[in-house]
Amino acid sequence: MQLHNFNSGPAILPQEVLDQAAAAIHNFNNTGLSILEIGHRTSHFVEVIEEAKTIVKRLMNIGEEYEVLFLQGGATMQFMQVPMNLLDETGMAAICDNGVWGNKAVKEAKLFGPVTVVSDSSDKKHTYLHKQLNLPADTTYLHITTNNTVEGTQWHSYPQLGVPLVGDMSSDIFCRPTDFSKFDLIYAGAQKNMGAAGVTMVVVKKSLLGKVNRKIPAILDYQKHIEAGSLLNTPPVFSIYVSLLTLRWIEKEGGLVEMEKRNLEKANLLYKTIDEHPLFYCPIAQEDRSIMNAVFFLNDSSKEAAFLELCKKEGMIGVKGYRTVGGIRVSMYNAMPLSSVVAFCDLMKSFA
């Protein structure tokens, strides 16, 4: 039976990336050593991390004013590392709370300075994005979660309000062409759209740093990581290598323009199937629907268990909704083939 991996993260990877990573575990670049064994300060690995940085900048079309870092701790670490480096009592963090991850960002930022929630969609269970933002005069930065993995919403245009913009792009990084220069800091856990779990990419405008008064532990200081070239401590070597392979794959397949074309085709097919069959409904505002994570429900909730059991029987992996939301969640990251979405839609029609 063919499996269709709709997991929300860690998520599907391109087959050729898996094959290349597996080969490198046994013999990395004909060195006779495993990628798991090479020293992180050797030329072998420095070449890996430098190529990865170069491709990131090329895909983002950004210049030397930005630095690309490969760190650890996931987006959860960034919820506190961002305010630790950018926020103190002299300013205000303006944060959009449009779901689970935005809410966590709010809680962590409050440990380091004043926070104001400028977008709160909880009045409608986070089924839309509140985009009318009023920022306090002393706003230091605005933080948004560009794609809400749990709730199924996505920003399709970004607010430009005259303050530095910080984006958690963990679940939609490189899914489409974006004017990345609108952001002053971007972070993304790799495990959804850019590689394997264990590494977090941070892209930061260097002029943003060094403005807070507090002392920052070296391991949490972006400037220290920049100075060390992401080698301040032993980095997640294998995860960075898988990210490099995935970045190469994105470029080889046609870059972000091609990724968007494929992702729109998959998302449009799935949402069309949901909307055309009365058994299913998607409560997400149409203009805010995510092309990465479709969240929907059955109008007759008593049939949900049977539908999920059928999905399991037919090899549809990871489609049960997040524990606090319920329903169905279908994640369609870059590596997800259209054929899997077609198979899922056929299953929906058959069940309906």
Helix H or strand E segment including 211: none
Please say if 123 is a catalytic residue: no
Query: In the structure encoding, which two tokens stand for residue 65, read together?
Result: 């004013």
Query: In the structure encoding, which two tokens stand for residue 153, read together?
Result: 């919403």
d(CA 291, CA 135): 28
d(CA 328, CA 320): 5
Q: Which of 184, 192, 266, 288 is catalytic?
A: 192
- Comparing CA positions, the residue from 189, 134, 171 lying closest to residue 294 is 171
- Judge whether 223 and 204 are in contact, CB under 8 Å: no
- Judge whether 150 and 238 are in contact, CB under 8 Å: no
Query: In the structure encoding, which two tokens stand for residue 21, read together?
Result: 């990573």
Q: Residue 189 pairs with which residues in a beta bridge?
A: 200
Q: Which of 168, 172, 221, 288 is catalytic?
A: 168
Kindly list the distances between the CA atom of residue 126 and the CA atoms of 97, 132, 295, in Å, as whole numbers in the listed order: 9, 15, 11
- Judge whether 133 and 96 are in contact, CB under 8 Å: yes
Please say if 101 is a catalytic residue: yes
Please say if 300 is a catalytic residue: no
Q: Which of 101, 155, 172, 288 is catalytic?
A: 101
Catalytic positions are 101, 168, 192
